[in-house]
Chain A
Amino acid sequence: MPDLEPIGRDAFLQRIADGLPFDEAEKLDILREIAAHLADSTARLEADGLPLDAAERTALDRLGPPDRLAVELTRARRTPRRLLAAAGAGTWAAVSGVVYGYLFGVLILVVVSIGTAALAASAVHMFGGSWGSLLDNTAITLLALGVGVYVAGLKVTSVVAARAGYHIRAARRVTTALGGALIGGYALVGWSGTLHWPDVAILLSLPAWFGVGAWRSTAAAFPSRRWHLQILGLMLVVVPLGLVLGAGQQPHSSGSGGLHPAGVERMGLPTPEAVAAAQVGGGGGSFGGTDTIGTVIRDPAVLAGWRDLRAEAWRGTGAVGIDPSLLALDPAARGPFAVGPAGFETPGQIPPWTWSTGEALPDGLVRLSGSVRIDRSPSATLAWVAITGVGPDGRRYIISGPSFDSTAFNGTAWDWFAAIIEGR
């Protein structure tokens, strides 16, 4: 559509600049060429006898509407090669953006966490009480990753737009969809480790961090001072909030020592006297999310006729390590949340937690042990583990244990949801 109002040379060039989706250097190159053309054209028209104003006006008219010229110049410069270059530059922008944003995020988070923790410790010292944090190392890392992903969204969109020759509003639809899908996939099945619900929440929000970054992307230079202040402000809210929400979290704890949690009868009948008498010692431990429990038996014949020996992990409740009388099996647990195999070890195996000297078991003694993964239940923070078996009378008995261990879910966000759906 032709311009209704005549505009001057500078406004004409500005309208072209506004319509070009390229980076500043490329825009400048194009504008210099058009400006030189206008100068030549005006000079020629003046030489032909037109006054300066009319000559300039005519020179502008001969180039047509600036908006249309910008559109046609953009189309002319948009080639498949540019798209390829945009993909490469976009990948680099994503990587560098994540690294920059992550490092900046870690720095800010650590500083704010230390400050908040100091304030909280002072408050506890002055007013009493206790506090803990939901923002463990995983959450801190994931929050920093969120900042990194946000920066990647900012950078990728502007870089891809400029290199491919598309306006940011068009490019961000592509970068948001593509980047969001990639990051979403990574958040679901790529990240694996110890997860609490805040970690899963942060993981699942990562595509949104990227999307917000892509949507806020501009052609302006990055990073800006304003951006740094925004991130600092965001973390000043998020970190104290996480610390407050996490008040009451418990540290790692484990033990046994003949404790009998309330509800232990649901695990099985008490150990038969003959079986208990044959046991000369036992123990267990947890490593890498697997809890192992064992007992050394003087006369294996005492378990003749027993079947379905297994290690069971039941969800527990209670303030671990504070008041043993509060320890209990979760009243809502109708069965073990995890089960593992149990059996007699072959002679010569040395369970390090049973005989600290590392010597082989004395003749005639055998060890019954079982192991079970206790880090696959999102809702279990305390696991009671025991070896159970079905006796000759067809009823299930506790053979060894139970002992408790604090635990946390370990896996991917996908595993987390699968466990919830399966009721673990």
Chain B
Amino acid sequence: MGRSQLLKGTTTLLVLAVLREGELYGYEIAARIRERSGAFIDPGEGWLYPALHRLEAAGALEASWRESGIGPRRRYYRLTRTGSRMLDAEASEWESFARSVRLIAGGPANA
């Protein structure tokens, strides 16, 4: 399975996770995910804005336009309570899934 396919199932988790630390705008979110993954997750950015807008429509994120220190005005995203609950649920789901995959693949379950 390619990385892009793996990414499809984890975009919600990735976006919500990086926003747990504070509000960010779109480019920063993509850059943060890239940095945190050691550039392992770098599939392009076409997925980012649809995901952000979907999460905003679902009430998981709030967005507002603000001036930034440099460059144009940016649309900053912030996690809502709904988003925090969604993040917990997604993280738990991912943990269960990853543990199961490791078990099947023969690795240690708690690695």
**Which residues of A approach B to under 8 Å, CB–CB?**
29-30, 32-37, 39-41, 43-44, 61-65, 68-69, 72-73, 75-77, 79, 81
Contacts and interface: CB of A to CB of B under 8 A. Distances in A.
A41 B46 CA distance: 13
B45 A41 contact: yes
What are the 7 tightest A-B residue pairs by CB atom distance, in nearest-first order? A64-B46, A72-B50, A76-B54, A40-B27, A76-B53, A76-B50, A36-B72
A29 B20 CA distance: 24
Contacts of A61: 44
Given A32-B73, A37-B26, A39-B71, A77 B53 contact: yes
Contacts, number: 69
Contacts of A33: 26, 49, 74-75
B51 interface: yes
A196 B65 CA distance: 61
Contacts of A63: 44-46
A61 B27 CA distance: 15
Contacts of B25: 36
23 contacts: A33-B75, A34-B49, A35-B72, A36-B26, A36-B27, A36-B71, A37-B26, A37-B45, A40-B27, A44-B31, A61-B44, A63-B46, A69-B49, A72-B46, A72-B50, A73-B49, A75-B50, A76-B50, A76-B53, A76-B54, A77-B57, A79-B58, A81-B57
Contacts of B49: 30, 33-34, 37, 69, 73, 76
A416 B80 CA distance: 61
Contacts of B45: 37, 41, 62-64
A69 B46 contact: yes
A30 B65 CA distance: 11
Q: Is the interface of B mostly helix, strand, loop or mixed?
A: mixed
Interface string B17-29: 0000000011100
B71 A40 contact: yes
Contacts of B58: 79
B53 A73 contact: yes
Contacts of A72: 46-47, 50
A37 B50 contact: no
Interface residues of B, number: 21
Contacts of B51: 76
Interface in B39-88: 44-47, 49-51, 53-54, 57-58, 65, 71-75
Contacts of A79: 57-58
A274 B82 CA distance: 96
A30 B53 CA distance: 10
A30 to B, nearest CB: 8
A387 B47 CA distance: 85
A12 B47 CA distance: 16
A214 to B, nearest CB: 27
B75 A69 contact: no
Nearest to B52: A76
A30 B26 CA distance: 12
Q: Which of B27, B54, B65, B71 has the most CB of A within 10 A?
A: B27
B51 to A, nearest CB: 7
Contact of A73 (B26, B44, B50, B65): B50
Nearest to B46: A64
A69 B49 CA distance: 8
A25 to B, nearest CB: 13
Contact of A76 (B44, B57, B71, B73): B57
A30 B75 CA distance: 10
A135 B75 CA distance: 59
Given A43-B71, A61-B44, 9 more contacts: A30-B49, A37-B26, A37-B27, A44-B27, A63-B46, A64-B44, A69-B50, A72-B46, A75-B50
Given A73-B49, A75-B50, A36 B57 contact: no
A142 B36 CA distance: 68
Given A36-B27, A36-B73, A39-B72, A62 B50 contact: no
Contacts of B74: 33, 36
Contacts of B73: 32, 36
A314 to B, nearest CB: 69
A35 B74 CA distance: 10
A270 B65 CA distance: 93
